[in-house]
């Protein structure tokens, strides 16, 4: 287990076997370069399984009325996106154009309220 609290990222970020672009032990393809902030603890994790492994509490999902808060970290440029920006970004970082894994959208219900 690697805890990179003191790495160059400017936000609280933890993950299992996480690399410099926020890939983790569970999702480590070339496009798996985002981390998601969990509203229960305010910490960014590469995925829900990392939160399960490292946090001592159940994960909460973002309610719709907080979709304008920073919630996604781009592991390529390390800027943050709001949930609204992320859901509208067509799987590409609006800042650096890095491609995100479109498959993440299949699990969006683990992170974001759906209505």
Spatial separation of the C-alpha atoms in residues 50 and 15, rounded to whole Å: 5
CA 24/CA 44 separation, integer angstroms: 12
CB closer to Zn ion out of 2 and 64: 2
86 binds Zn ion per the rule CB under 5 A: no
Rule CB under 5 A: choose which of 66, 87, 95, 113 binds Zn ion. Answer: 95
Q: Is 47 in the site for Zn ion (CB under 5 A)?
A: yes
With CB under 5 A as the contact rule, the residue among 40, 64, 99, 105 that binds Zn ion is 40
* Rg of the Cα atoms in the chain: 13
Answer for which of 71, 76, 81, 104 binds Zn ion (CB under 5 A) is: 76
Q: Coil, helix or strand for 90?
A: coil
Counting residues that bind Zn ion (by CB under 5 A) gives 17
Q: What angle do CA 31, 68, 94 make, to 5 degrees?
A: 35
How near is the Cβ of 79 to Zn ion at its closest, in Å? Answer: 6
- Least distance in angstroms from the C-beta of 11 to Zn ion: 14
Q: Is the dihedral of CA 11, 80, 59, 29 positive or negative?
A: negative
Using the contact rule CB under 5 A, the part of the chain among 5-13, 53-61, 63-71, 105-113 near Zn ion is 53-61
């Amino acid at each position: 287990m690697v805890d990179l609290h003191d790495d160059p990222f400017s936000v609280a970020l933890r993950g299992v076997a996480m690399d410099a672009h926020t890939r983790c032990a569970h999702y480590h393809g070339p496009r798996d370069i985002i981390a998601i902030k969990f509203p229960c603890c305010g910490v960014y994790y590469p995925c829900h399984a990392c939160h399960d492994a490292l946090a001592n509490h159940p994960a909460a999902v973002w309610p719709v009325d907080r979709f304008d808060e920073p919630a996604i970290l781009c592991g390529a440029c390390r800027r943050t996106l709001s949930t609204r920006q992320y859901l509208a970004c067509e799987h590409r970082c609006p800042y650096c154009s890095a491609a995100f894994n479109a498959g993440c959208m299949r699990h969006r219900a683990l992170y974001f309220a759906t209505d």
